Structure formats: structure tokens, C-alpha cells
Structure 1
């Protein structure tokens, strides 16, 4: 019976170690989930900030072009041409619907 008791005690110790390792892994998993959620929020905030900054940058370029800045004059011409093309497409669609 001594050998059986020894085997049982060893098995019981290993079981406790396994349960303890499982609990530690479970805690680590929860911690990592929280970290992932925090990083997702941070990424979302950063993306929206980048979009806002890009929009602000575009507006500043257009404002500089309107002020006559030589560097941005070409940009303004391209933008005006794009808007004219969009208007032409709209006018054509309206004529098509009426006709």
C-alpha cells in the first residue's frame, strides 16, 4: 500500500499544480483581453485623430491656394477642375432625367 499511497500523493500534488497553472493562465488571459480592449480603443482614437488631421491639412492647403501661394496654386486648379467635372456630371444626369 505504501507504493499506492505515494503514487496517489504524487498524483494529487500534480493535480494541484495543474489547477494552479490553469488559474494563472486564466488570470493572464483576462489581463490580456483587457489590454487588447485598451489597445483597440487607443487605435480607434488614433485613427480618428489621423483622419481629422488629414482633413485639417487638406483645408489648410486649399486656404493657402486661395491666398495665392504659388506652391498650392496647382492644387487649387486641380480641385476647381474636379468640382467642375462633378457639376457637369450632375447637370448631365438632370438633363437625362428630364428628357
Structure 2
């Protein structure tokens, strides 16, 4: 009988340890979920800033081209030609 009680005590102790481990894992999981959400928000902010910097960079490139920078002249001419072609296509569609 005492052997049975010892086994029951051992099982209870093991179960208590498992419950404590489970609670610790749940706490860690909640913390990781929170950290994940914070990192997602931070990533979105960084992506927004990157888009802003890209827009600024494009504007600066265009400004340099307008100021006569040889580096960006060809690129600006190509962009203008593309825009003219698009406008011509729009006019052709309207004329039809």
C-alpha cells in the first residue's frame, strides 16, 4: 500500500512540475507574441521611412538632372520620352 502511495506522490510531483512548466511556457509564449507585434510595428515604420527616403531620392535625382547634372541627364531624357509616349497613347485613345 505504501508503494502505491509513493507512486501517487511521485505522479503528483511530476504533474505539478509539468503544470509549472506549462505555465512558464504560456508566459514565454505571450511575451514572444507581444515582442512579435512590436517588431511588426517597428518594421512597418522602417518600411514607411524607406519609402519616404526613396521618394526624396527620386526628387533629388530629378532636381540634379534639371540643374544640368550629366549623370542624370540621360535618365531624365528617357523618363520624359516615356511620359511623352504615354501622353501620345492617351491622345490617340481619345481621338478614336
Q: 2-side partners of 1:82 and 1:41: how far apart?
A: 37
- Give me the CA root mean square deviation: 0.7
Unaligned stretches of 5+ in structure 1? none
Which residue pairs with 1:79 in the alignment? Answer: 79
Report 1:48-87 matches (<5 A): 48-87=48-87
Unaligned stretches of 5+ in structure 2? none
Residues 1-27 of structure 1: per-residue CA shift (max 9 Å, x gap) = 100100000000001001000000000
Q: 2-side partners of 1:51 and 1:13: how far apart?
A: 57
Q: 1-side partners of 2:82 and 2:51: how far apart?
A: 22
Q: 2-side partners of 1:35 and 1:91: how far apart?
A: 54
Q: Secondary structure at 2:60's aligned position in 1? A: helix
Q: Which runs of 4+ in 1 moved over 3 A?
A: none
Q: 8 Å contact 1:62–1:75 — kept in the other structure?
A: no
Q: TM-score, normalised by structure 2?
A: 0.96
Q: 1-side partners of 2:88 and 2:53: how far apart?
A: 31
